[in-house]
Amino acid sequence: MNISLEHVAIWTNQLEVLKEFYVRYFSGVPNVKYINPQKGFESYFITFQSGARLELMHRSDIPPNLNDTKDKQHLGIIHLAFGVDSIKEVDEKAEELRSAGFRILSGPRKTGDGYYEFETLDPDGNRLEVTTRWVN
């Protein structure tokens, strides 16, 4: 049996903004927007080069998330990680996002478990890592 993570979903109140962020900065390819007028539901699936997908969803009756993902950590899913091929690409992506006005929470830095990474936030405040493996 071959099991893979099919997709991760995020509720958002700014569907188009979030879609454009993942398309522009992470080379995601969106599908045509799905709309279910009876439920007031809209969504995009964003597909990345690896085959991983992110479902961005909107419905007006979904309340805000009360977790503070910017400055504190809580139980549950806390970040999405995007892999690149080199330390140079991590640095370039950090500078691209910093220059575009996105907050860099930490890094770029080498971690104790063999990664080089930085952390940032998407337009909704979801925590993201951009990472690569490094060799001593």
89 & 127 share domain = yes
- The Cα 37–Cα 130 span in angstroms is 36
CATH number at residue 85: 3.10.180.10
- Is residue 64 a part of any domain in this protein? no
pLDDT given at position 64: 79
123 & 88 share domain = yes
55 & 96 share domain = no
Residues 28-51 as b or e (16 or more Cβ within 10 Å = b)? beeeeeeeeeeeeebbbbbbeeee
How confident is residue 116, by pLDDT bands cut at 50, 70 and 90? Answer: very high
84 & 129 share domain = yes
Question: Other C-beta atoms within 10 Å of 14: how many?
Answer: 13
* Total number of domains constituting the chain: 2
128 & 87 share domain = yes
- Is residue 127 a part of any domain in this protein? yes
- Is residue 111 a part of any domain in this protein? yes
Stretch among 2-6, 79-83, 96-100, 118-122 having the lowest mean pLDDT:
2-6
54 & 87 share domain = no
- Is residue 67 a part of any domain in this protein? no
How confident is residue 15, by pLDDT bands cut at 50, 70 and 90? Answer: very high
pLDDT given at position 82: 96
pLDDT, mean of residues 115-120: 96
Contacts made by residues 75-79, CB under 8 angstroms, sequence distance 24+: 77/8, 78/127, 79/119, 79/126, 79/127, 79/128, 79/129
Read off the pTM: 0.90
- Is residue 69 a part of any domain in this protein? no
47 & 91 share domain = no
Find, among 108, 106, 107, 116, the residue nearest to 136 by Cα: 116
Q: What is the pLDDT of residues 41-91, one digit of tens each?
A: 999 999 999 999 999 999 999 887 776 666 777 777 888 999 999 999 999
pLDDT given at position 70: 66
pLDDT given at position 30: 98
For tokens 């925590």, what's the residue? 127
2 pLDDT higher than 90: no
Give the domain extent around 129. 80-133
120 & 87 share domain = yes
